[in-house]
Amino acid sequence: MKITKRSNQQNTKSKFKSAIATLLSDTVSVEKQKVLDLIQIPKSTTHGQFTLPIPQLLKLVPHQDKDVLCKEIVHLAQGQFLNFNVNKEEYIRETLLTVFEEKERYGHTLNDRSVLIHLGSPAKHHEGHLKRMILGGFIQRIYEANGYKCYKLNDLGDEKNLYALLAVGYKKYGNPEEKDIVRHLDDISVKINQDMKQDFKKVTQEVSVYLRKLDQGDPETVQEWQKLRLLSRQSSEETHRRLLKDQRFEYMNDTEDYIPMVYRRLEEKGLCNQSEDGSLVINLSNYNLGRAVIRTSDKSSTYLTREIAGTLMYCEKYKDVEKIIYVASVEQENHCKQLFKILQIISDCPELVHIPFGRILNMSTSSLKEILDTAKENMLRVIKEDMRHGKYADILKEGIVVDEHLVQGEKAVDYIADTLGISGIITQDMANKRVRNYHFAWDRMTDARGDTGIFLQYTHTRICGIERKLNFPVSPHCQFSLLNEEEAFELTRAISLYPDIIQTTFQSLDSSTLVLYLFKLAHMISQVNYNLRIKDVDPKLAEARLLLFWAAKTTLANGMKLIGLHPLERM
């Protein structure tokens, strides 16, 4: 089967499937799309590159055409399947040229829709916060890869209490002469949270006293609270950008003007009831969602009320949004159901979706920054142990390029260690099923051979190293007929699967599908690179093989970026 005309509307795999479907639909009078839906990828390559179950096809064929099917096709079958072998040279050419043309856009699709991603407040500051940031960033990137315009909202939860607690901690542990105030506040946050675990009642009372002064408008308290909020956000953003380099920030705040609207709409719908203690509640029992407090007995709004108000505010601000995705832990499922039901009753809101996630276990550290620092220190130790191999000296001398700037010396080593540490954290998280709890394994992070983020980075840098040592560039003008080894075709076939993997991942928003594919692709790159050398071979063969490995590296890098990694060129 040969396709002579290239088109960017479909990936290579889809083009060949389309050609098969056209052939069969014309032969047996079945709609092309119905035939397309039956075409599968066989588990074994001995059964060709595409397969189709004949019993299912027979069900679609009109009675008068069944004889035609038996005469023209069934005698070609192997058992109950009709298998198809493609023109391998053409398949390789189509795939590699598509990657070369699309580059970092390979696997992406076009769209003109918009979505709002709401990162729900974590139940715990450390692992819950880490999980939601990683997952939220991934969801944003996978939607953008599918052409969506994304707005992302970071919900810090109850900021009033959050920074009141920090103020109590600053009073106890603060040092006005500390030069690095942002780092100092992060340390204070860790300490006061530890104090709260040890003596919850005492710390809570201190926070209540502070909040009372804040509500009374005490000028000194208000000024201190606002300053701590500003500095704490700066600290948070600095750490988040370190974790996810493409991070953008917008917070759910300034919702006070919308809260009266929430109460008014709820009262108009007859949903509000005053409880015995004076609090205002909504009875959602008719929807099997229990009761929800929307105003406390002291007339204060609740977090749920502020979320409702915030959603109304952002729906008004982003009128083009068709879907709002709430990224929150599985423990917050009922909260999200209550929120969604209330919004559906009082507003004409877009589609609301809760994307739940499980917990990270075995993470004993108390802050996101401490987690990242621990990962970095682990990788620094590994890098410096490689001094005897010369890699450490090479990095010190030659440096690396970061955002189009050359970084040399210890700064280069520091950047690589931090990037590798973060790669280990993100990949271990993204490799697990989204809703499952999992035990984080620090010892696996530094493994460059197993299925880890370090292995993905190692594979990428290995191909980058080969490219650096060659005296000719990657070119699409090569002899594809020279890529006649079975390994070359199988690697190409793996590359061609990437767009479909992106679509499968997009539908489930479960990153483990994509990460598993990246592990398989990286292992295949390493194996094929061992067998198909570029150095000391015929120049034309070297040119063709370079394009193959460049396309594999580009596909790997695209997938790494989607899960939140920053591909290194050397390590």
The pLDDT tens digits of the residues spanning 487-544 come to 999 999 999 999 999 999 999 999 999 999 999 999 999 999 999 999 989 999 999 9
pLDDT score recorded for residue 495:
98
pLDDT score recorded for residue 4:
41
Query: Three-state SS across 463-493?
Result: HHHHHHHCCCCCCCCCCHHHCCCHHHHHHHH
- Contacts by 468-474 with C-beta closer than 8 Å and gap 24+? 469/535, 470/534, 470/542, 470/546, 472/539, 472/542, 472/543, 472/546, 474/100, 474/546, 474/547, 474/550
Residues linked to residue 321 through DSSP beta bridges, in sequence order: 114
Q: Rounded to the nearest 10 degrees, how much is the dihedral formed by the CA atoms of 244, 521, 438, 323?
A: 50
pLDDT score recorded for residue 249:
63
Phi and psi at residue 448, to the nearest 5° = -90, 0
pLDDT score recorded for residue 127:
61
12-86 with 368-563: one CATH topology? no
Q: Report the top-level CATH class of 368-563.
A: mainly alpha
The residues near 392 (Cβ < 8 Å, ≥ 6 apart) are 383, 384, 386, 413
Closest CA to 96 of 525, 467, 541, 480: 480
Sign of CA dihedral 25, 26, 27, 28: positive
Sites in the chain below the pLDDT cut of 70: 1-10, 63-77, 120-128, 156-158, 246-254, 364-366, 387-389
Phi and psi at residue 322, to the nearest 5° = -105, -15
pLDDT score recorded for residue 1:
45
Contact 19, 508 (CB under 8 A): no
C-alpha to C-alpha distance for 357 and 510, rounded to whole angstroms: 10
Directed axis angle between helix 409-430 and helix 368-385, to 10°?
120
C-alpha to C-alpha distance for 450 and 428, rounded to whole angstroms: 11
C-alpha to C-alpha distance for 223 and 217, rounded to whole angstroms: 10
pLDDT score recorded for residue 346:
93
pLDDT score recorded for residue 68:
64
Closest CA to 156 of 115, 211, 118: 118
Going from N- to C-terminal start, the domains of the chain cover 12-86, 159-243, 368-563
C-alpha to C-alpha distance for 88 and 92, rounded to whole angstroms: 6
Residue at 42: amino acid letter: P
Sheet strand arrangement including 280-283: 272-274, 280-283, 291-295
Q: Which CATH architecture has domain 12-86?
A: 2-Layer Sandwich (3.30)
Q: What pTM does this model have?
A: 0.86
Q: What is the pLDDT of residues 449-479, one digit of tens each?
A: 789 999 999 999 999 999 999 989 999 999 9
